[in-house]
Chain A
């Protein structure tokens, strides 16, 4: 005959068996991810180790990106487009800001730069207060969430030719590229993100996404140097409607486009001054090809 103590023991054990799995169900795929804890990163002469970034990820990143790196942190429900952008899902291994061709994995340096620079117009701040080693470790940690890094290698960074001199002809040529590539469909004829397609844009996960507004004074997400802007439309922003134009425009034309886009931006620039002197008009969406 069972004692009262034994009965209670059985009852409590049964209760625990039912309760515990519901609590820990969200951790089921952790073991899969943990198999990649040996992931490394190489940034300059620093080697990052995923296992060393666990504490920093938990301290700084997990609130948005979630314990499984799937972008489902506790803050994700509060980050609704268009005011906010959803945290990146690291498990997909798809990244906007890369130096590598579209569809390929970014380099470790790309991820390191993203952590250091942060992303304007998003909740991702600059983490340049962390030591270089901490950031390299976090790069390895980000990589360890996605199985893509197991079988794939990062793409080869696209070459960026030296920046030519800005001329009025180049700015005008850039306007032609802007029209020919139909950039205005999303970004608008004056770069104000109000093109006819702007309201319909969605990312690869079907979430609304806004085109970049060149005129409101904010900085491009993947860097604001001329080289950064060149890189953005030659690599595309994977996971978003912004495609790569690497197969459609030549490097020289890409530079022309950079100069033309600078004329939209509110910051003072040589391009903006030249556009004013030229009395450059916005592209006409209805003009026949080549007759802007």
Chain B
């Protein structure tokens, strides 16, 4: 070995030993700091179970957590009623997520400048924005009022601090001492096995299930959003071990909006059933289906030409149905599949139904009447359905895979696809309505792929500690979404363009 080589080797050794020492000390610090925190998530605190007992990865429930929820937030161990609780127990959890994210929208119509001044021209370009940000704040509070009577209350704010009641309900469980008779009343999430309220992803487009929210472009049906919390009553029945579950809900077709301000006098039924079975070393698998059918109003009575709030009539129908499967391939790999076939009445396809949808000129229900320009689309008696208008229908699917390295580290991958099978504006359309950037204009047939969505989301959540006392997840996620035909029209040819958006997000998701 040459002297210079020996010298280089010695330097490498010194560097290596330094790195090793620093790594050891850092490891010591991390291990020392990873002690149980003092703050207590509500149910974990009450029962002394770790987050991981009920959550595949917080907040997504596992089978045990689902059973706990189905029993009315009870473990059924004769210690569920408040009388058995520690007097210091206070069932409140706060959840908020400080984040950094970068959002990139592929096509945005922007003004152009010449010599520092607007030149009256426009161009289409990608717009990206990044920065530190904050999620809204959730106050989860829930528990038992008495044995087999429980509640949930979730005041929730947007990032600016404006609050609303995201969930509020009271439930009665094990009526007649039977797990087959449980009811709840209030505002709640429909019985979706893949719960959007417990979604593991947080980006703007990846933080919801597109399959649960998809409606055709320009469709006026404000309901049909099975991912949103709804106002109504739900029956739930399940076997003692929760292998078999059935539920039926009757909800207002108001998409959970209060004061009957949007759609009133219309109801929707939602039915779900599933069966789990033991597949040995693969784990417990579950398959099921759901179906929703309902009506929503398409116009309002008016006084002096002004729509009367809550007077929605002219109900038209819609439906959603699909298959759900939760599959496990051993202790580490899981796959959830949700499919959906959706269909709306042709009136919805023409934009009627949403009291807040206007013809794009800024009118509101309080200031104008339909069908004057600038007013909500109002299907007043005698309004003809444009020739060629037809019921839009579509098919969608969500595939969400998880790799659970340990209860503290989960990798998530999701692919969703939503495809129109029949557009609202058929081939015979000459004067159908078509929404473009919120403005309804007369239009001919709509391209068959208009509004189709495909989106990918990948990410991981790492919980640096896992106790029954608090929850903290280091969250990392990337979402990419593509939609056909909804980009700004080509400035030269006027042709529809596709749009791609992407978002990368890192944050600390914590509750206590």
Contact of B48 with A75 in the complex, beta carbons under 8 Å: yes
- Of the four ranges (under 10, 10 to 19, 20 to 34, 35 or more), the interface on chain A belongs to 35 or more
The CA of A202 and the CA of B279, in the complex, are separated in Å by: 43
Near B by CB (< 8 A), chain A positions 267-285 give: none
The CA of A6 and the CA of B17, in the complex, are separated in Å by: 8
Contact of A63 with B406 in the complex, beta carbons under 8 Å: no
B133 touches A (CB below 8 Å): no
- Return chain B residues, CB-CB under 8 Å to A133: 278, 280-281
A132 to chain B minimum Cβ distance, whole angstroms, is: 6
The CA of A218 and the CA of B47, in the complex, are separated in Å by: 18
Contact of A123 with B284 in the complex, beta carbons under 8 Å: no
Contact of A9 with B14 in the complex, beta carbons under 8 Å: yes
- Return chain A residues, CB-CB under 8 Å to B280: 131-133
Instruction: Assess A8 versus B28: contact at CB under 8 Å? Given A120-B77, A126-B76, A131-B283.
Output: no
Instruction: Assess A128 versus B407: contact at CB under 8 Å? Given A5-B14, A8-B18, A74-B36.
Output: no
Contact of A59 with B52 in the complex, beta carbons under 8 Å: yes
B380 touches A (CB below 8 Å): no
- Return chain A residues, CB-CB under 8 Å to B242: 129
A161 touches B (CB below 8 Å): no
- Return chain A residues, CB-CB under 8 Å to B79: 120-123
Contact of B468 with A63 in the complex, beta carbons under 8 Å: yes
A124 touches B (CB below 8 Å): yes
Contact of A129 with B284 in the complex, beta carbons under 8 Å: yes
Contact of A13 with B17 in the complex, beta carbons under 8 Å: yes
- Return chain B residues, CB-CB under 8 Å to A219: 78
A65 to chain B minimum Cβ distance, whole angstroms, is: 11
Contact of B52 with A60 in the complex, beta carbons under 8 Å: yes
Chain B residue with the shortest CB-CB distance to A20: B28
A134 touches B (CB below 8 Å): yes
A84 to chain B minimum Cβ distance, whole angstroms, is: 8
- Return chain B residues, CB-CB under 8 Å to A15: 25, 28
Name 9 A/B residue pairs within 8 A (Cβ), A-sorted: A6-B14, A12-B18, A12-B22, A62-B50, A63-B467, A75-B49, A120-B79, A125-B76, A131-B281
Q: Apart from A52-B331, A130-B64, what are 18 other A-B pairs with CB-CB below 8 Å?
A: A9-B14, A12-B21, A20-B24, A23-B31, A24-B31, A56-B331, A63-B48, A63-B468, A84-B48, A122-B77, A123-B47, A125-B76, A126-B241, A128-B241, A129-B242, A129-B284, A130-B63, A133-B281
Interface residues, chain B, CB within 8 Å of chain A?
Answer: 14-15, 17-18, 20-22, 24-25, 27-28, 31-32, 36, 47-50, 52-53, 63-64, 66-68, 75-79, 84, 86, 240-242, 278-281, 283-284, 331-332, 406-407, 467-469
